[in-house]
Amino acid sequence: MKKVYYIGLDVHKDTTQMAVLEMKGKEPIALKVIDSDPSKVAKAILPYHKEGKVYVGYEAGCMGYTLYRVLTAMKIDCQIIAPNKVFKGGTNEKIKTDKRDATAIAWMLRREEGAGIAVPEREDEAARDLLRCRSDMQDDLKRAKQRMHKFLLRQGHIFESTRYWTGKHREWMKRLVFAMPLDKAVFEQYLATIESIEERVARIDVQIQEIAETPRYAERVRIFRAFRGVDYIIALSLVCEIGDFKRFPQAAALMSYLGLVPSEYSSGKKRIQGGITKTGNGHIRKLLTEAAWHYARPVQVSKRLATRRVGTSESVISYADKAMNRLHKKYMKLVLKGKSKQAAVTAVARELSGFLWGVMTSAA
């Protein structure tokens, strides 16, 4: 009978703590610190791999999937465990060390507790990083606009409307006169920063559209774009971030993964529900919330939506129309009951994720 080893890794930027358990025994047979270079970690695991079957696990973190890909290429069974699934010690334990963390992961593997996260293919990860880069630039753009707005307020320049960054607002800014040359220089620097970021975002948008229309993504992106509020950015993000929707057995599982389900604190006869959990994939949760705002408006197939639907099957369009009617009714019902618009939109985003799960699992 082949030996079986369970290897837990606590991975950091510079060093990695390794703990090795056998099928029997209460203590690790080996505890060692190694360099975090993936090839050196693989070299440390290789002797156990040659002796028998090896199961390796480590906690998801800033080091990404490089180590996972190196180990799986060597035919070593490896899984990346979500941080909230790793045992952190009891409430009375005040000790946290790398050895304990690595050993805890090894025990999880031996007890077959939990499953590893879904690791994207390299092409999907690259596209996902581009989408997240765009999101980061949008955050930078928002901050740059806020700085400009506050600067103009300090100089006594107040725009007549609250609708900023429209064509009319930009024309107004170009006509501004500053008493001090340095004030004008500051204004020009802020404006140049804003325009530079906008140009970069526009270039990324073109690149994202090109990627979304490649054979690898085109069909799935086309299906998502049939839904109101979902265009290239959100559609490609759904494909790259979530991957195979069928890994979620029910729509509720996807909603939970996105952190869109209500938190709950219940005991005995008391049941108290709070705001959404906000666990899991925050990037997709944010995008779906943005899409959900479109369902606050009256039901109507706009020219833009009709154009996006060209070439999409009638069954998908019918399903998307069903979602549009249902989600608008849900939004109106919640608002009329006294819920805030934000709470109503969050509820719509949760149900929208269910419709998207349905269309991708042939439940439509």
Q: What residue has token string 């995008």?
A: 287
Q: Which residues, in sequence order, are CB contacts of 97 under 8 Å at separation 6+?
A: none
End-to-end CA distance of the chain: 48
- Residue 298 sits at the vertex; the CA angle it makes with 343 and 309, to the nearest 5 degrees, is 105
Output the six-digit token pair for 226: 């049939």
**What pLDDT shows up at residue 93?**
66
**Local mean pLDDT, 10-residue blocks, the chain (364 residues):** 91 96 93 96 96 95 93 96 79 78 95 88 97 97 98 95 94 95 97 98 98 97 97 97 94 95 78 82 95 96 96 96 97 97 97 97 68
Q: Which residues, in sequence order, are CB contacts of 237 under 8 Å at separation 6+?
A: 128, 131, 283, 284, 287
CATH fold group of domain 3-111:
Nucleotidyltransferase; domain 5 (3.30.420)
- Residue 233 sits at the vertex; the CA angle it makes with 254 and 313, to the nearest 5 degrees, is 75
**What pLDDT shows up at residue 275?**
86
DSSP secondary structure of 276-290: E---S-HHHHHHHHH
**What pLDDT shows up at residue 268?**
72
Q: Which residues, in sequence order, are CB contacts of 232 under 8 Å at separation 6+?
A: 205, 208, 209, 212, 221, 225
Total residue length of the chain: 364
Q: Cα-atom radius of gyration of the chain, to the nearest Å?
A: 26
Best CA proximity match to 116, nearest among 223, 16, 9: 9
User: Are 5 and 53 a contacting pair, CB within 8 Å?
Assistant: yes
**What pLDDT shows up at residue 91?**
52
